[in-house]
């Protein structure tokens, strides 16, 4: 099959393809190659940072499905991450379920609880829904702090969720002759999951369900008039989004091997909102970009702090600290993107592509 | 080239890359030891609100080892270099990331601040066989492998503080409550209160938790006041303590505040709360008071400060960090004497380490994990704005029977 240049489409089916041009395929191939080689050339520090970025990408994709594509605002995303983490701890640690059953079970648990929250979206919208989701977060925080049998209370709990299929165990790859340490193995696992879930989200969104979700977002009453069930799709969006978040929480627990109720805070929910705003609301790739950007930014600022003359040395106690600069950048980025590029980082990329698509005749 | 062929090529390339490259990041036989230099890592908040604790802890380690290096180094040979990394107290994943950054460059972690940070690092410490010194005082650390614990645990601080309060004339039978941070540190303080209650035979009054970023404390203070609390255990952090006690002062409520050591900062004694604190606050801690030249350890520290950090202001956490640095130095001396500075060697040295008293501090019995014993006596301080760190001694060597009989269980 020849891959035609599909930038100018003539058929409905062409509008649904993942890669419109050979260049896009080559770009994806280059990204894959970079992902494969990254843990082999980067040190454990950057590999760890990228693992956290990948875990955040899973959660951000889920939030984008809910907020970006369905228009439902949620500040309770951190709660579902916590549900996933503790569900994984129980399924793997206490019930002894093997991988991938505990991961699927944790995602399912998040989805079920999301399905219970979804009906609130039928009666509420906008700020009111945001407040209800905030209430869910605080309720969840209370449960996490006091359900000590499952969560360990404020002291937290150690998590044992081995990622092993047969003799291949991420905690000891060398035992089967794979020359990778735990961080490297977890990097591949994390970004494989990101790829699979991103593809699943993309498929969801470029087909009939995705059109229904966007119809709910754009004109919910008109959508219902033409037969798009608000109950079905709004609750469904919560289920899918919560499932993604719970999956991210389970992966976080598997990597960190310790979680505490303090991990699932309001600030985490706000960070996820920032990821999809900065990355691009309504775009799967944007969610991944936003997660990468906001996870890497503080570490990059620290790494480059020696070259920023206005930054105080760590420990000096004077001037602008790295922590303060990161906080300022976080706020400025959200404000800046909302004002000047509300479609986020992905739109910057799209503008670049459009410019060079017709270069040198672009205007 | 067809898409399927392209995918096949990428897959083959990926398999080849994995098979050929990577493996564990290169580690020397003795990570953190290069020639005659030992590198000690420090993970502590240096730029967030908890930096008021983290910065002086780091500085004290730097000053201590500068002095040790000038005197010939560990074992008369090894110079010690301190490598610090900034972490965010409210985000334990930052310590995991920074640990991954420096783990191959340090022989041990001389300080890690934050209960949740220590908990997050424990699996990694076990995997890598590294020793770390927790900058927090949970009783659970006493018998946790891979940890070089220091100081009197929070649980015993509270037991001693409560016991001392109840032992004052007219205080028997009074109501004791708690107001603690909603973290593992706060939970440790609550455990101390419950242990004291069980031992002394009283029922605690209302127990309140708050968060580091809370702004309004009128409601919890009112709850405690309505519970007729005569004394309140406070497990807080310096940035929050002022707000908590300010709310109490505004409401005109003056219980006896029995504070854990991390709740205090000298700046509080110079604030508008000074008078209120003078009347109501006790701080349960240990070690010598800054400037007390009758103490040999303090004289030594002051001499080092004058030489290596003349701009250092009196600071409770500098004094505390100085004691930690001495303990880390003692461990390294032990490892050098045994001729093994590998990770295994340092762990073995910890198990063979003799009981050690940082100058002016209580004796900590190290050795085999099951027999380790921290000091069990605290010094109760009261607030005096005219004193160097705003504190003067109320009572020394306070160790009530409940603290002496406290049982430490196996750690995580």
- For A83-109, write each residue's pLDDT tens digit: 999 999 999 988 888 889 999 999 999
Three-state DSSP at A113 gives: helix
Higher pLDDT, A103 or A361: A103
Contact status of B47 with chain A (Cβ, < 8 Å)? yes
3-state secondary structure chain B: CCHHHHHHHHHHHHHHHHHHCCCCCCCCCCCCEECCEEEEEEEECCCCCCHHHHHHHHHHHHHHHHHHHHCCCECCCEEEEEEEEECCCCCCHHHHHHHHHHCCCCCEEEEECCHHHHHHHHHHHHHHCCCEEECCCCHHHCCCCCECCCCCCHHHHHHHHHHHHHCCCCCCCCCEEEEEECCHHHHHHHHHHHHHHHHHCCCCCCEEEECCCCCCCHHHHHHHHHCCCCEEEEECCHHHHHHHHHHHHHCCCCCEEEEEHHHCCHHHHHCCCHHHHHHHEEEEECCCCCCCCCCHHHHHHHHHHHHHCCCCCCCHHHHHHHHHHHHHHHHHHHHHHCCCCCHHHHHHHHHHCCCECCCCCCCEECCCHHHCECCCCEEEEEECCCCCCCEEEEEEEECCHHHHCCCCCCCC
Strand partners, B178: B207, B233
Name which of B267, B92, B380 is nearest A255 in CA terms: B92
- DSSP secondary structure of A52-97: HHHHHHHHHHHHIIIIIIT----S-HHHHHHHHHHHHIIIIIIS-P
Provide the chain A residues 289-318 that lie in CB contact (below 8 A) with chain B. 299, 302, 312, 314-315, 317
CATH class (in words) of the domain with range B154-285+379-404: alpha beta
Place of tokens 């390339």: B13
| Contact criterion met (CB < 8 Å) for B59 and A315 | yes
What is the ipTM for the molecules in this complex?
0.78
Provide the chain B residues 183-242 that lie in CB contact (below 8 A) with chain A. 183-184, 186-188, 209
pLDDT at residue A315 tops 80: no
User: What pLDDT shows up at residue B412?
Assistant: 60
User: What pLDDT shows up at residue B105?
Assistant: 93
Distance CA B274, CA A247 (A): 50
Compare CB distances from A179 to B22, B59, B122 and report the shortest one's residue.
B22
Contact status of B265 with chain A (Cβ, < 8 Å)? no
Distance CA A278, CA A273 (A): 9
Strand partners, B378: B398
Compare CB distances from B58 to A39, A158, A315 and report the shortest one's residue.
A315
User: What pLDDT shows up at residue A14?
Assistant: 67
Contact status of A182 with chain B (Cβ, < 8 Å)? yes
Higher pLDDT, A260 or A56: A56
- CB–CB of B412/A158 below 8 Å? yes
- What does DSSP say about strands B79-86 and B37-44: parallel, antiparallel, or unpaired? parallel
pLDDT at residue B48 tops 70: yes
Mean pLDDT estimate for chain A: 86
Candidate from A4-18, A65-79, A89-103, B72-86 with smallest mean pLDDT: A4-18
Q: Is the peptide bond before A360 cis (omega within 30 degrees of 0)?
A: yes
Mean pLDDT computed over B387-398: 93
pLDDT at residue B299 tops 50: yes
pLDDT at residue B276 tops 50: yes
Which of A157, A314, A330 is the best residue to mutate to test the B interface, defined by the most B CB atoms within 10 Å of its own CB?
A: A314
Q: What is the pLDDT of residues B174-204, one digit of tens each?
A: 999 999 999 889 999 999 999 999 999 999 9
Q: What is the pLDDT of residues B333-384, one digit of tens each?
A: 999 999 999 999 999 999 999 999 998 888 999 999 989 999 999 999 999 9
User: What pLDDT shows up at residue A18?
Assistant: 74
User: What pLDDT shows up at residue B28?
Assistant: 52
pLDDT band at A324 (very low <50, low <70, confident <90, very high): confident
| Contact criterion met (CB < 8 Å) for A154 and B104 | no
Burial class (CB in 10 A: 0-12, 13-18, 19+), B98: buried
Contact status of B273 with chain A (Cβ, < 8 Å)? no
pLDDT band at A262 (very low <50, low <70, confident <90, very high): confident
| Contact criterion met (CB < 8 Å) for A323 and B48 | yes
pLDDT at residue B5 tops 70: no
Q: What is the pLDDT of residues A170-183, one digit of tens each?
A: 877 877 788 888 89
Q: Domain residue spans in chain B?
A: 33-151+291-375, 154-285+379-404
User: What pLDDT shows up at residue A15?
Assistant: 66
pLDDT band at A7 (very low <50, low <70, confident <90, very high): low
Provide the chain A residues 41-70 that lie in CB contact (below 8 A) with chain B. 41, 43-45, 47-49, 52
Burial class (CB in 10 A: 0-12, 13-18, 19+), B71: exposed
- The CATH number corresponding to B33-151+291-375 among 2.60.120.590, 2.40.240.10, 3.40.50.2000, 3.40.50.2300 equals 3.40.50.2300
Residue B391, token pair as written in the block:
């504190």
Give me the helices (H) in chain A, please: 22-41, 44-63, 77-88, 101-117, 120-123, 126-146, 148-151, 182-205, 208-218, 220-225, 230-256, 266-279, 284-303, 322-340, 345-357
Please indicate, yes or no, whether the overall pTM of this predicted structure exceeds 0.80: yes
Same fold, B33-151+291-375 and B154-285+379-404: yes
| CB pairs A-B closer than 8 Å | 134
User: What pLDDT shows up at residue A6?
Assistant: 52
Q: What is the pLDDT of residues A210-248, one digit of tens each?
A: 889 999 899 888 988 998 888 889 899 999 999 999 999
Three-state DSSP at A220 gives: helix
Gyration radius of chain B's alpha carbons: 23
Place of tokens 């202001």: B313
Q: Which residues of B touch A33 (CB under 8 A)?
A: 10, 13-14
């Amino acid at each position: 099959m020849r891959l035609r240049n599909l930038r100018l489409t003539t058929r409905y089916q062409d509008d649904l393809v993942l890669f419109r041009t050979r260049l896009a395929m080559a770009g994806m191939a280059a990204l894959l190659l970079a992902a494969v080689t990254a843990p082999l050339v980067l040190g454990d520090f950057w590999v760890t940072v990228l693992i956290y970025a990948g875990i955040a990408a899973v959660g951000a994709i889920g939030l984008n499905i809910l907020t970006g594509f369905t228009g439902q605002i949620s500040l309770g995303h951190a709660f579902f991450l916590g549900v996933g983490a503790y569900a994984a701890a129980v399924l793997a640690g206490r019930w002894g379920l093997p991988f991938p059953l505990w991961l699927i079970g944790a995602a399912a648990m998040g989805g079920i609880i999301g399905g219970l929250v979804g009906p609130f979206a039928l009666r509420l919208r906008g700020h009111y829904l945001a407040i209800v989701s905030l209430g869910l977060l605080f309720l969840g925080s209370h449960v996490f702090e006091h359900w000590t049998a499952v969560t360990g209370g404020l002291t937290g709990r150690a998590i044992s969720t081995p990622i092993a299929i047969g003799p291949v165990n991420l905690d000891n790859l060398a035992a089967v002759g794979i020359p990778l340490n735990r961080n490297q193995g977890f990097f591949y696992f994390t970004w494989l999951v990101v790829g699979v879930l991103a593809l699943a989200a993309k498929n969801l969104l470029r087909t009939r369900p995705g059109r229904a979700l966007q119809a709910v977002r754009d004109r919910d009453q008109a959508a219902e008039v033409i037969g798009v069930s608000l109950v079905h799709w709004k609750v469904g969006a919560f289920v899918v989004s919560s499932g993604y978040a719970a999956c991210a929480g389970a992966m976080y627990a598997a990597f960190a091997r310790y979680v505490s109720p303090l991990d699932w805070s309001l600030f985490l929910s706000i960070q996820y909102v920032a990821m999809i705003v900065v990355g691009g609301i309504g775009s799967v790739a944007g969610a991944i970009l936003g997660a990468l950007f906001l996870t890497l930014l503080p570490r990059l600022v620290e790494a480059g702090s020696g070259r920023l003359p206005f930054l105080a040395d760590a420990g000096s106690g004077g001037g602008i600290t790295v922590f303060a600069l990161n906080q300022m950048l976080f706020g400025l980025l959200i404000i800046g993107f909302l004002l000047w590029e509300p479609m986020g980082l992905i739109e910057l990329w799209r503008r670049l592509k459009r410019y060079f698509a017709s270069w040198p005749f672009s205007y | 080239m067809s898409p399927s062929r392209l995918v096949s090529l990428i897959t083959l390339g990926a398999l080849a890359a994995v098979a050929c490259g990577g493996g564990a990041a290169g580690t020397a036989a003795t990570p953190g030891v290069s020639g005659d230099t030992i590198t000690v890592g420090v993970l502590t908040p240096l730029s967030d609100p908890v930096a008021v604790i983290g910065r002086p802890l780091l500085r004290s380690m730097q000053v201590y080892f500068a002095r040790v290096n000038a005197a010939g180094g560990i074992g008369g040979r090894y110079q010690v270099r301190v490598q610090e990394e900034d972490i965010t107290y409210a985000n334990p994943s930052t310590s995991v990331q920074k640990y991954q950054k420096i783990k191959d460059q340090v022989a041990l972690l001389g300080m890690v601040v934050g209960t949740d940070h220590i908990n997050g690092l424990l699996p990694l410490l076990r995997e890598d066989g590294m020793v770390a010194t927790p900058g927090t005082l949970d009783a659970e650390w006493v018998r946790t492998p891979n940890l070089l614990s220091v100081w009197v645990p929070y649980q015993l601080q509270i037991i001693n503080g409560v016991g001392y309060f109840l032992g004052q004339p007219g205080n028997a039978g009074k109501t004791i409550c708690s107001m603690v941070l909603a973290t593992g540190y706060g939970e440790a303080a609550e455990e101390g209160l419950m242990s004291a209650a069980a031992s002394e035979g009283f029922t605690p009054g209302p127990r309140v938790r708050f968060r580091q970023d809370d702004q309004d404390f009128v409601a919890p203070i009112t709850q405690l006041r309505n519970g007729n609390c005569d004394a309140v255990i406070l497990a807080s952090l310096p940035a929050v303590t002022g707000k908590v006690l300010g709310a109490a002062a505004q409401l005109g409520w003056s219980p006896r505040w029995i504070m854990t050591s991390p709740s205090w900062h000298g700046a509080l004694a110079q604030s508008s709360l000074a008078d209120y604190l003078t009347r109501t606050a006790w701080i349960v801690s240990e070690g010598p008071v800054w400037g007390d030249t009758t103490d040999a350890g303090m004289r030594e520290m002051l001499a080092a400060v004058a030489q290596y950090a003349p701009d250092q202001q009196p600071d409770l956490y500098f004094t505390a960090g100085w004691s930690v640095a001495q303990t880390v130095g003692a461990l390294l001396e032990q490892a050098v004497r045994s001729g093994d500075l590998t990770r295994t060697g340092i762990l073995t040295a910890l198990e063979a380490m003799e009981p050690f008293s940082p100058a002016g501090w209580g004796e900590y019995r190290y050795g085999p994990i099951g027999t380790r014993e921290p000091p069990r006596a605290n010094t109760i301080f009261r607030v005096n704005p005219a004193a160097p760190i705003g504190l003067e001694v109320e009572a020394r060597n306070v160790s009530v029977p409940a603290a002496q009989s406290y049982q430490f269980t196996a750690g995580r």
